[in-house]
Structure 1
Amino acid sequence: MHSRFPRQWPITLSLILLFIAGNASGEEGPPPRPLTDPLLVKSQSLSRPLVPSVEELFAAKDAFGAIWIDDGETILATANLDGPFNLWMLDRAGDGPRPASRSPDRQLNPVALPDRKRIVYETDSGGREMYDLILLDLETGAERNLTASPDTSEIGAIGSYDGRLLAFSSREANASNFDLAILDITTGERRTLVAEESPGYRWVPVEFTPDGKALLANRLNVLQTDGTMMLVPLDGSAPLPIGPSGEGVYAIASDLSDEGDRIAFFASGPSQNRRSGLLSLDTGAIRWLRSSPWPQSGGWFVPGRSDIAFEENASGRSGIFLYDAARDESKPLPLPEGMNRFASSGQSPFTANGATLLFRHQAGHQPNDFWTYSMVSKSAAKITELSPAALDGNRLPRTELVHYPSKDGLVISAFVWIPPNLARDGTAPAVVMAHGGPTAQISDFFNRDAIAIASRGFVVIAPNFRGSTGYGMDFQRANVGDLGGGDLDDLVAGVDFLVATGFVDRRRVGIMGGSYGGYLTVMGLARRPEVFASGVDLFGILNWQTLLASTEPVLQVYVRNLLGDPVTNAEQYERSSPSTYIDRIEAPLLILQGENDIRTPKSEATALQARLNERGRTVEAVYYPEEGHGFSRRENQIDSLTRVVDWFERTLKAQP
């Protein structure tokens, strides 16, 4: 919801029906990337390199989903300042953080209602991902569960301009699709506005129209290959598609202008990267904000102006650009290198007067903090100190972005952490980190796992293998039907690159990852035992058929899109499953798993542990109660990373 309140809604529904869908426009991907000379990868010379304990790394707090709750002095954010992710108020004046709400469970994605005194946020229970919407009064601290539905998940809420209605996405526990629903906060009356019938599709509300008669929303699929912007009348009439459309077009609205006549959005087509655009509801005309080979976000209107701020992701490093509507040009904001992202994805990052932008900044060696950018002085400043001064990023291993060829010549981008003061004598152990998804991307964020491992003498590489986002749709779809094939080759090619730097001993290479990264870990140990000498599997996948039968419904649709029908393509499921090659595993394996994981259930981990035990392999497993897909409780985060570090110390550094 925007920070200002438009005075009128000039567009009638009949005019929108006259729109002729445009074509999505974007640069062909993946972008050109020159290959990196391995011998140019260097180790920093530091007089006092820092080797932080795992506890010290977690003293750097995480915070996200921040929104302004006044005119520029106080923000409300989700943060793990003293344990679980709860809501905290942070003052830029330097006053200490104050808890807004406390719970042992996660509290996520706060949005402010127009009075800024009431907040709506999401919470689940024990990692089950069945979220309820909670109304919080910031003045009294009183809270009310607006949905109270243990077997229905409600997420992504936005409020109407009069503060009376909420719109949100809603999914039953046994469903793979999200409906669009609205709720009257005062009466508690709830109704489904749009009932989605297609498996794997989701409705996401963006903003109410100023007259309160309609809702701007997106309809998109789980693979992010089909997305349409929709205007949804609140009287129950049929939704109306607007903007770019067509086969393979993914168009997503992000904001509505103050006047209610323009939409900020992004769109991509087949073989095209996402590109930020501006849609006029008066004429249907589309203006693309910047020509670039890199993917962009939809962005936010600057209150009181026609300008738009949007993000661009250049191979895992994100910058913020400002589109000047009067000049029809976009320029990057002068921000520090690394990851610069809007503070919230659900509410405008600007103050009401448009003078200040709130964003998050972090980098591979720099912990996350909130920053502001002044639209007046055109300068950025850090406004929080979420990490202790002793955790000096200048004394930690830094990330280096590299590009190398895979087995078939496909260019792969990766981040590398080289320990300081490392001799180029070919004796260092290394760890390959595989990200989840696979439709995800490793980016230049503060990576505790990589820092903990690299600061102890391991070279770490985190590749964006085929199937990753950020390099065009062809690259993103390049592992469909070939899971554990070309993407695993990309990881192995990363090992070859590390060896070519002259730092790494090929016999001392480990692999780790979570979710799909856990799958690639087990697949790597099984199919390339000559490459990987140790592994850590965090909530990974053993067998695609058993996963399909036990995972939650949305992921079932996702798996079918990656591997096809499980009956027709049974051979492909078998070929892509680590269980097929389990007899080949010789290396020791550590398994870390949440008891309540609904995506990759505990049964995948227990079956893997049992089969390795039957074969007399070295395997250890830890199962965390009250945890789901990933670990949200501080004690479990510290315990799991401590075990990872100790595991690689024992299994790789002890190698002859």
Structure 2
Amino acid sequence: MPSPAPQPSPGSTEPTEPLTAELVVDRAAAVAPAISPDGRLVAYGVIANGGSEGRPHGSIWVAAADGSTAPRRLTDGTARDLGPRWAPDSASVFFTSDREERGTAQLQRLRVDNGQDVAKAEALTRWHGGIVDHRPLVDGRTVALLAEDEPTAEDERREAERDDARIWGRHLPVTRLRLLDLETGTVRTVDGLGDRHVVEVAPRPDGGPLAVLTWSTPELDPGARTVELHLVDPDSAAVHELGPVGTDAESPAWWNRDGVWHLAHLAVTPGHAVGGFAVLDTVPPATGPAPEHRNLTAGMPVCPIELAQVADGPPLALFADGLDTALYRLDPDSLRFHQVSSAPGTLAGLSVSRSGATLALLASTAYEPRNVHAGPACGPLVRLSDAAPELRGVRWGVQERLSYRAADGLELDGLLIRPVGGTAQDPPDGPFPLVTLVHGGPYFRHADEFVLNAVDCGQWLAHAGYAVFLANPRGGSGRGHAFAAEVAGEIGGDEWTDILTGIDLLVDRGVADPERLGISGWSHGGFMAAWAVGHSDRFKAAVMGAGISDWGMQAGIGDWGALESGLSGSTGWDGPGPHRHDRNSPISYASRMRTPVLILHGEEDTNVPLGQAILFHRALRHFGVEHELVVYPREGHGLRERAHQLDALRRVRAWFDRRLQASVRL
């Protein structure tokens, strides 16, 4: 699908640039491609670290969809300019920017004339608290905005006097749907949705009602499990309730069949708290709730990851397919998705022109970071952006695909990155020290893409002489719903033996040195690293990043409480115990642990709260296990600040260097 871009050769023997932590952290990244309705131009964002506070800034770029002209930068990158979306006439781009007040995004508009100088951006809102999201409507006069309420005089008094006692759940900022009139600048709030928290909006292509997804509360738990679908008339703001939809519902997409409008969306497969996503479809009635939503992806051995609305045809969708990604189109007659094309690695950020003939997306392969590509839906696509050209001077470890069977015969895949050295045709021989990287989720995957950031640092470790195993155990995406649902109530069970089977495969092939094994992961991968050291003495070092040590605690205080209990099998209020989640919690096996563990955690993490790391630290200290707890101030579930990303890269590699005694290969 994407045509090959100039790629750094893993087999080059010529002198190359050293891979420094600064090069990893400071490289720019292309994000959020948006193709114009007429299919001629693509706008996209570029994020890079910058500024004295060391947080990412963004700029807006535009390029011809056919690659006939070089990309132009529309904004200077000194603020956080992101989220480009086109006006219906393809002449202007709307985007959000915090240039007026750092940290507060407002809606801006730029007129884009291909080949001409760009006019100064026009500020369209001054909404106190900022704009969360925006959708230009097809009438060309209105923009749907998602924004929290502006503070009242009473709110300002409470803040000034620190009279800020909060009743839990009552003072959470609710995002509401608002309609901006571009001619007058007035903003109307859609009151008919009450106090429900608006998460997504999809305008109907003919100017009809807006499809609106809401939660009962801004809290992930229970918000993501209490999703409802509504229709909103953009003229009168009248609301038509369609009723509840699937857990974690997202990506509403309109499509027309024989003059009848359908409305599809993504959600967890109905009837399951843990499992793969599905595309669900309904025909909204004129009155009353929607009829039953039909599962359009039932039984498919792949997982839908994005659903894109096409104004003049049925929707397109991206599917995770093992280590690769495929583009599918819905057949309106059979109501089934059929593959249009496939590409190695990752495709993401799908954006489609009005006709559906041209699209834009992000693509990444083993040695090429994510860049914007565009072209016909059936391919080939042309690479438009070149966000990190400096990486072409770096030599990479050879990335290989793995395919094997679990102990119970289940088909599995994964990736191996060999240490830097040799050539692609003749990579260096082992055995090498091996670090296993386990992905988060667990509903996620390692695709055959470029692996280089502060969390998934495969090539960073390969430059230090390590072989890196990117494991895809059961519970992840890319192999259909049943594969993803395997871990429900059994977290740490067969998925753990899946990982061990892959490690044993690499030992048997002479790639991995069985005396020099390490394991690392973030989030669910951090849980698996903690689980590993309580169930095996094979690992000489481990890194637990933002990981779960106690599932009972996680169900009680983490953002995704119900999901966590679905994974672990119980909650702490299921009676006096013993609880099923105790059997599935690493903390229960702390007395067995002997492996040195590096624990990394964000101080403001609400997804996996810091208490998980503190509890694990205290247990390891109690049993005299060598470990180190590192807490990053101001950070949530990931690392955003430049200095923290640099610290994590250097600290992780040093932790493994001291214990696995890897020789440095540059």
TM-score, structure 2 normalization: 0.74
Partners of 1:122 and 1:155 within 8 A in 2: no
1:533 matched to 2:540: yes
What pairs with 1:138-287 in structure 2 (closer than 5 Å)? 138=110, 139-141=119-121, 143=123, 148-149=128-129, 155=132, 157-162=134-139, 163-166=141-144, 168=146, 174=169, 181-185=176-180, 186-191=185-190, 193-194=192-193, 204-208=200-204, 210-211=206-207, 213-215=209-211, 217=213, 231-232=231-232, 237-240=239-242, 253-256=252-255, 261-263=261-263, 268=269
Structure 1 unmatched ranges of 5 or more? 1-42, 124-130, 344-348
How far off its partner does 1:67 sit?
2.0
What pairs with 1:421-460 in structure 2 (closer than 5 Å)? 421=422, 427-448=431-452, 449-460=457-468
Query: Structure 1 residues 636 and 175, CA, compared in 2 at 3 Å: closer, same or farther?
Result: farther
Distance (whole Å) between structure 1 residues aligned to residue 97 and residue 567 of structure 2:
30
How far off its partner does 1:451 sit?
1.0
Cross-structure match for 1:350: 352
Cross-structure match for 1:383: 384
Cross-structure match for 1:558: 563
Cross-structure match for 2:94: 119
Distance (whole Å) between structure 2 residues aligned to residue 312 and residue 177 of structure 1:
35
Partners of 1:424 and 1:503 within 8 A in 2: no
Cross-structure match for 1:134: 106
Distance (whole Å) between structure 2 residues aligned to residue 399 and residue 225 of structure 1:
39
Cross-structure match for 2:43: 75
Match of 2:75 among 99, 118, 125: 99
Distance (whole Å) between structure 2 residues aligned to residue 173 and residue 514 of structure 1:
29
> Which residue identity is paired with 2:481?
M
Query: Structure 1 residues 226 and 397, CA, compared in 2 at 3 Å: closer, same or farther?
Result: farther
Distance (whole Å) between structure 1 residues aligned to residue 225 and residue 186 of structure 2:
38
Q: Between the two proteins, what is the percent identity of the paired residues?
A: 20
1:465 matched to 2:480: no
1:57 matched to 2:24: yes
Partners of 1:79 and 1:88 within 8 A in 2: yes
How far off its partner does 1:432 sit?
0.9
Query: Structure 1 residues 330 and 587, CA, compared in 2 at 3 Å: closer, same or farther?
Result: closer
Cross-structure match for 1:630: 638
How far off its partner does 1:430 sit?
0.6
How far off its partner does 1:534 sit?
0.6
Partners of 2:543 and 2:597 within 8 A in 1: yes
Cross-structure match for 1:521: 529
Cross-structure match for 2:600: 592
Cross-structure match for 2:116: none
Distance (whole Å) between structure 2 residues aligned to residue 636 and residue 107 of structure 1:
23
Distance (whole Å) between structure 2 residues aligned to residue 626 and residue 522 of structure 1:
24
Distance (whole Å) between structure 1 residues aligned to residue 240 and residue 266 of structure 2:
24
Distance (whole Å) between structure 2 residues aligned to residue 196 and residue 486 of structure 1:
43
How far off its partner does 1:114 sit?
4.4
Q: 3-state DSSP class of the match of 2:539? A: coil
What pairs with 1:543-622 in structure 2 (closer than 5 Å)? 543-551=550-558, 554-563=559-568, 564-568=570-574, 570=577, 571-622=579-630
Query: Structure 1 residues 330 and 613, CA, compared in 2 at 3 Å: closer, same or farther?
Result: closer
Q: 3-state DSSP class of the match of 2:650? A: helix
Query: Structure 1 residues 473 and 270, CA, compared in 2 at 3 Å: closer, same or farther?
Result: farther
How far off its partner does 1:425 sit?
6.5
Q: 3-state DSSP class of the match of 1:402? A: strand
> Which residue identity is paired with 1:556?
G
Cross-structure match for 1:311: 318
Q: 3-state DSSP class of the match of 1:441? A: coil
Cross-structure match for 1:648: 656
Distance (whole Å) between structure 2 residues aligned to residue 575 and residue 176 of structure 1:
37
**Which of 75-84 and 450-459 deviates more?**
75-84
Q: 3-state DSSP class of the match of 1:239? A: strand
How far off its partner does 1:219 sit?
7.5
How far off its partner does 1:44 sit?
7.8
> Which residue identity is paired with 1:561?
G
Query: Structure 1 residues 433 and 466, CA, compared in 2 at 3 Å: closer, same or farther?
Result: same
Distance (whole Å) between structure 1 residues aligned to residue 615 and residue 62 of structure 2:
49
Partners of 2:280 and 2:295 within 8 A in 1: yes
Q: 3-state DSSP class of the match of 1:523? A: helix
How far off its partner does 1:133 sit?
5.6
Q: What do residues 50-106 of structure 1 show as CA deviations (whole Å, max 9, x unaligned)?
A: 662333334542221122469634513152264644332224332553536644xx7
Distance (whole Å) between structure 2 residues aligned to residue 120 and residue 257 of structure 1:
28
Q: What do residues 82-135 of structure 1 show as CA deviations (whole Å, max 9, x unaligned)?
A: 4644332224332553536644xx765444454764635498xxxxxxx97631
> Which residue identity is paired with 2:418?
I
Match of 1:339 among 312, 322, 346: 346
Distance (whole Å) between structure 2 residues aligned to residue 290 and residue 49 of structure 1:
51
How far off its partner does 1:508 sit?
0.9
Cross-structure match for 1:414: 414
Q: 3-state DSSP class of the match of 1:99? A: coil
Cross-structure match for 1:504: 512
Q: What do residues 595-646 of structure 1 show as CA deviations (whole Å, max 9, x unaligned)?
A: 2222222333234334434444332333323322111233332331122222
Distance (whole Å) between structure 2 residues aligned to residue 544 and residue 391 of structure 1:
43
Query: Structure 1 residues 147 and 464, CA, compared in 2 at 3 Å: closer, same or farther?
Result: farther
Partners of 1:120 and 1:133 within 8 A in 2: no
Q: What do residues 347-374 of structure 1 show as CA deviations (whole Å, max 9, x unaligned)?
A: xx23456553211111122111111114
Partners of 1:588 and 1:618 within 8 A in 2: yes
Partners of 1:539 and 1:600 within 8 A in 2: yes
Distance (whole Å) between structure 2 residues aligned to residue 500 and residue 278 of structure 1:
47
Query: Structure 1 residues 237 and 266, CA, compared in 2 at 3 Å: closer, same or farther?
Result: closer
How far off its partner does 1:402 sit?
2.1
> Which residue identity is paired with 2:178?
L
How far off its partner does 1:450 sit?
0.7
Partners of 1:294 and 1:312 within 8 A in 2: yes
Q: 3-state DSSP class of the match of 1:433? A: strand
Partners of 2:33 and 2:42 within 8 A in 1: no
Cross-structure match for 2:396: 396
How far off its partner does 1:523 sit?
1.7
Structure 2 unmatched ranges of 5 or more? 1-8, 64-68, 111-118, 150-166
Cross-structure match for 2:503: 495
TM-score, structure 1 normalization: 0.75
> Which residue identity is paired with 1:430?
L
